[in-house]
């Protein structure tokens, strides 16, 4: 049952030494952190970057002529370039720093209020996170546009033929996640984007859950907007980016007014700054942006190909072990999946399993995972979600399986 060591593409024990939190004990047990889809853990290289910023060059950016301000500006703009290169954006100013995916989606939704009119249609997928549902509902209320949903099947996959039927000359926008946070389904976004463009629609892809596992190339995808949060990919909370094609970012109005986003201000009229500053009002999360750059450096050093390969091994091993437990049902069995397992045990509430296995040191998420429509589809209140990262191990999965078995025995 054990996976042969030579199949593992990198030294996970060495990698684990980079993550101080993995040495923690929870209720006397070693921490087993399987809630990576909610937020990832932070390697010391990123923690050191944060300490270095506040210890050595904390200053406001783009304003001061003094040395610290220039150093902070250089590092912050350097991080923007790293992010640009990582996602292969054509220009650094197409990378807008945000506080995270939710902020970026709201920025775009706000901008499109003047582009949509009554009777226009926007398509959203059945697999979305609430943060890629609610802003569009708000936009439709404001504009009179109609929200339509691309349906999913029992496997947790979008039904492509139904998507094609929904597309028409009325379709103005399509919103879809690259990977579902609740089920792990990887959506065929290239096909979705191409079809939408044929119909003349703009496409926004929520990449929050894909970015820790898949290196997206925004130019190859030809996507109009792509969003990520740093905290899901080894970076800090409170920072993320919105990638937008230059033509859209130029066209959309600013989201917030304030300092940093202006060219000139008089009481009669304000003119806006050029990209990316037009969308970056106020003092940003300077340290967070720089630390996001360090997180990308770290993950690229580990290697996205290696990460994907290893996480797939974790997923297959855990899936097999879980299914061997009587009464386990896994939700989301798409062939294309990241290392997320959403499951229930017959007759037991997910919350009870989560609470008991926490007593044994295992951190999983329970509930609807900010995706209530998916739970409604399966007619369940929620699931237990175990989500893996490249710093997890096969041994941790064995301990997790033991913990689930113990919880089951106690609850039956």
> Per the structure block, which two tokens stand in for 18?
């980079």
Closest CA to 15 of 214, 295, 302, 400: 302
CA angle 361, 366, 368 (to 5 degrees): 165
> Could you tell me which of 224, 221, 242 has the C-alpha nearest to residue 289?
242
Report the residue from 174, 208, 275, 360 that binds ligand PLP according to the rule CB under 6 A. Answer: 208
Q: Which stretch binds ligand PLP (CB under 6 A): 56-64, 94-102, 134-142, 300-308?
A: 94-102
- Least separation in angstroms between residue 342's CB and ligand PLP is 13
Among 102, 125, 185, 389, the residue binding ligand PLP under the rule CB under 6 A is 102
94 binds ligand PLP (CB under 6 A): no
Q: In this structure, are strands 29-30 and 340-345 parallel, antiparallel, or unpaired?
A: unpaired
Question: Known catalytic residue: 370?
Answer: yes
User: What number of other Cβ atoms are within 10 A of residue 231's Cβ?
Assistant: 24
Determine the Cα–Cα distance for residues 35 and 400; give it in Å rounded to an integer. 12
Q: Does 84 contact ligand PLP by CB under 6 A?
A: no
**Which is closer to ligand PLP, CB of 230 or CB of 273?**
230
Q: Does 42 bind ligand PLP (CB under 6 A)?
A: no
Cβ proximity to ligand PLP, 49 vs 102, nearer residue: 102
In terms of CB distance, is 12 or 233 closer to ligand PLP?
A: 233
Which of residues 157 and 206 has its CB atom nearest to ligand PLP in the complex?
206
Q: Is 229 in the site for ligand PLP (CB under 6 A)?
A: yes
Q: Is 361 in the site for ligand PLP (CB under 6 A)?
A: no
* 216 touches ligand PLP (CB under 6 A): no
Residue whose CB is less far from ligand PLP, 103 or 408: 103
Q: Can you tell me the distance from the alpha carbon of 187 to that of 272, in angstroms, rounded to the nearest whole number?
A: 37
Q: Which of 40, 143, 177, 392 binds ligand PLP (CB under 6 A)?
A: 177
CB of 292 to ligand PLP, least distance (A): 12
CB neighbours of 114 closer than 8 A, spacing ≥ 6? 253
Residue 350's CB: how many other CB atoms inside 10 A? 22
DSSP alpha helix (H) spans, 18-66 = 44-52
Size of the site for ligand PLP (CB under 6 A): 13
Residue 337, classified by CB atoms within 10 Å of its CB into exposed (0-12), middle (13-18) or buried (19+), is: buried
What distance in Å separates the CA atoms of residue 104 and residue 84, rounded to the nearest whole number? 16
| Calpha distance 280→256 (Å, rounded) | 8
Q: How far is the CB of 379 from ligand PLP (least distance, A)?
A: 22
Binding residue for ligand PLP, selected from 73, 143, 187, 209, defined by CB under 6 A = 209
Q: Which one of residues 40, 42, 100, 338 is an interface residue with ligand PLP (CB under 6 A)?
A: 100
What is the C-alpha to C-alpha distance for residues 158 and 149, in angstroms, rounded to an integer?
10
* Window of 128-136, 258-266, 374-382, 383-391 that interacts with ligand PLP by CB under 6 A: 128-136
Output 99 or 270, the one with its CB closest to ligand PLP: 99
Helices (H), 32-156: 44-52, 67-86, 101-111, 134-143
Chain positions contacting ligand PLP, by CB under 6 A: 100-102, 129, 131-132, 177, 181, 206, 208-209, 229, 232
Catalytic site positions: 370
């Amino acid at each position: 049952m054990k996976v042969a060591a030579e199949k593992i593409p990198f030294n996970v024990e060495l990698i684990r030494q980079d993550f101080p939190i993995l040495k923690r004990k929870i209720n006397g047990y070693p921490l087993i952190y399987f809630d990576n889809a909610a937020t990832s853990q932070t390697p010391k290289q990123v923690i050191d970057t944060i300490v270095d910023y506040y210890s050595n060059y904390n200053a406001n950016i783009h304003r001061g002529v003094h040395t610290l301000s220039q150093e902070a500006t250089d590092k912050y703009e350097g991080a923007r370039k790293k992010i640009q290169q990582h996602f292969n954006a054509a220009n650094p100013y197409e990378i807008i720093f945000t506080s995270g995916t939710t902020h970026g989606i709201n920025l775009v939704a706000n901008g499109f209020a003047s582009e949509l009119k009554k009777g226009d249609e926007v398509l959203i997928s059945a697999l979305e996170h609430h943060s890629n549902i609610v802003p569009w509902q708000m936009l439709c209320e404001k504009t009179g546009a109609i929200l339509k949903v691309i349906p999913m099947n029992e496997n947790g996959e979008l039904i492509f033929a139904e998507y094609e039927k929904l597309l028409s000359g009325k379709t103005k926008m399509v919103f879809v996640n690259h990977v579902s946070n609740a089920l792990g389904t990887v959506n065929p976004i290239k096909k979705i984007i191409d079809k939408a463009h044929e119909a003349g629609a703009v496409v926004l892809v929520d990449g929050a859950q894909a970015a820790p596992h898949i290196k997206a190339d925004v130019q190859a995808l030809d996507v109009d907007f792509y969003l990520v949060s740093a905290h899901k990919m080894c970076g800090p909370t409170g920072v993320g980016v919105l990638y937008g094609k230059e033509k859209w970012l130029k066209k959309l109005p600013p989201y917030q007014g304030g300092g940093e986003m202006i060219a000139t201000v008089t009481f009669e009229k304000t003119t806006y700054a050029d990209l990316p500053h037009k969308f970056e009002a106020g003092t940003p999360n300077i340290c967070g942006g720089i630390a996001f750059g360090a997180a990308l450096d770290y993950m690229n050093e580990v290697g996205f190909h290696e990460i994907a390969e290893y996480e797939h091994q974790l997923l297959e091993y855990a899936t097999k072990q879980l299914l061997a437990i009587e009464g386990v049902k896994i939700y989301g069995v798409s062939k294309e999946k990241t290392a997320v397992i959403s499951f229930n045990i017959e007759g037991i509430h997910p919350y009870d399993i989560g609470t008991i296995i926490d007593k044994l040191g295992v951190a999983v998420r329970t509930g609807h995972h900010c995706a209530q429509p998916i739970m409604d589809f399966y007619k369940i209140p929620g699931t237990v979600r175990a989500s893996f990262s490249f710093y997890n191990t096969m041994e941790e999965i064995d301990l997790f399986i033991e913990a689930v078995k113990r919880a089951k025995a106690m609850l039956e």
